[in-house]
Amino acid sequence: MTEELQNILTENGIGQKEAEMMSLYGQYLINENEKYNLTRITDVKDLAVKHFLDSVSVLSLKGIDFDTEVLDIGTGPGFPGIPYAISRPRAHVTLLDSSNKKIQFIDEGIKELGIDNAETLVGRAEELSHDDRYRERFGLVLSRAVASLNILIELAAGFVRQGGYFIAYKGANADQELELTGDAPTKLGFSIPEIYSTDLAGQDHKLIVFHKTRHTDDKYPRIYGKIKKAPLG
**Residues at the contact surface with ligand SAH, assessed by CB under 6 A:** 74-76, 79, 96-99, 102, 124-126, 144-146, 155
Maximum pairwise Cα distance, the chain: 49
Closest separation in Å from C-beta 110 to ligand SAH: 16
Closest separation in Å from C-beta 75 to ligand SAH: 5
Task: Classify burial at 135, counting beta carbons within 10 Å of its beta carbon; exposed 0-12, middle 13-18, buried 19 or more.
Answer: middle
CB nearer to ligand SAH: pick between 17 and 45: 45
Closest separation in Å from C-beta 29 to ligand SAH: 10
CB nearer to ligand SAH: pick between 103 and 192: 103
How far apart are the C-alpha atoms of 64 and 69, rounded to whole Å? 12
CB nearer to ligand SAH: pick between 96 and 167: 96
Closest separation in Å from C-beta 98 to ligand SAH: 4
CA angle 157, 191, 75 (to 5 degrees): 35
Tell me the residue type at 182: G
How far apart are the C-alpha atoms of 166 and 70, rounded to whole Å? 10
How far apart are the C-alpha atoms of 9 and 48, rounded to whole Å? 6
Closest separation in Å from C-beta 26 to ligand SAH: 13
- Residue by residue, what is the 3-state secondary structure of 166-205? EEEEECCCHHHHHHHCCCHHHHCCECCCEEEEEEECCEEE
Residues 6+ positions from 114 with CB-CB distance below 8 Å: none
Residues 6+ positions from 43 with CB-CB distance below 8 Å: none
| CB neighbour burial string for 142-170, b if at least 16 within 10 angstroms, e if fewer | bbbebbbbbbbbbbbbbbbbeebbbbbbb
CB nearer to ligand SAH: pick between 40 and 62: 40
Closest separation in Å from C-beta 44 to ligand SAH: 17
Closest separation in Å from C-beta 169 to ligand SAH: 7
CB nearer to ligand SAH: pick between 16 and 84: 84
For the chain, the straight-line distance linking the first and the last C-alpha, in angstroms and rounded, comes to 45
CB nearer to ligand SAH: pick between 121 and 191: 121
CB nearer to ligand SAH: pick between 62 and 133: 133
